[in-house]
C-alpha cells in the first residue's frame, strides 16, 4: 500500500495486486516443489513486516517461513510513513541530502542503506553456506 501511495517505510497491508502476486508466488513454488527443486530442507526466510508475512503465508510448500527482523526494510526513523512530498516539505535539508547521496544518507533516528547492508550480512552468509534451496520473501 505504501509503495502505491508513494510513502516511506511503514508496515501496511498488501494491495489487491499484492494479494494476487502472493497467490501466483504460491503457484510458482508449488511447481518448484513438484519438480523437486525445493524440499523439506528448503530454508524459507521472511522479514517481520506484515506484507512479507502475508505473502510468505500464501506459499504452501510444507516449510514454515522463519521471520527475521534483520530482513525488515530500511528504518526510516521519524520519516516513516511520510510521502516523499511530505519529506521535501517538512525536512527539506534531509530530502536534499538523501537525493545527493542515497547510499550514505541516514534518516533521522533511522538507518542509511549502508547500515542496512551491514544489518543483512548475517543472513547473506547463512544463504551462502546453505546446500539446500533458500527462499527469501522481502517486500520493499
* Contact predicate 69/123, CB 8 Å: no
Q: For 106-129, what is each residue's pLDDT tens digit?
A: 999 999 999 999 999 999 999 999
pLDDT band of residue 4 (cuts 50, 70, 90) is confident
Supply the pLDDT for residue 10: 85
What number of H helices and E strands is found in the chain? Answer: 6, 3
What pTM was computed for the model?
Answer: 0.85
Give me the chain's average pLDDT, please. Answer: 93
**Residue 52 in this model has a pLDDT that exceeds 80:** yes
Q: Domain spanning 2-137 has what CATH number? A: 3.40.50.1240
In the chain, domain spans = 2-137
Amino acid at each position: 500500500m505504501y509503495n502505491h501511495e508513494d510513502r516511506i517505510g511503514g508496515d501496511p497491508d498488501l494491495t489487491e495486486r499484492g494479494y494476487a502476486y502472493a497467490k501466483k508466488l504460491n503457484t510458482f513454488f508449488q511447481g518448484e516443489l513438484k519438480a523437486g527443486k525445493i524440499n523439506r530442507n528448503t530454508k524459507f526466510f521472511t522479514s517481520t513486516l506484515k506484507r512479507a508475512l502475508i505473502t510468505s503465508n500464501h506459499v504452501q510448500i510444507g516449510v514454515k517461513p522463519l521471520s527475521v527482523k534483520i530482513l525488515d526494510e530500511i528504518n526510516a526513523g521519524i520519516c516513516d510513513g511520510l510521502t516523499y512530498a511530505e519529506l521535501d516539505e517538512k525536512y527539506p535539508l534531509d530530502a536534499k541530502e538523501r537525493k545527493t547521496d542515497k547510499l550514505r544518507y541516514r534518516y533521522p533516528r533511522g538507518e542509511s542503506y549502508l547500515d542496512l547492508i551491514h544489518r543483512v550480512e548475517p543472513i547473506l552468509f547463512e544463504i551462502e553456506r546453505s546446500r539446500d534451496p533458500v527462499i527469501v520473501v522481502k517486500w520493499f
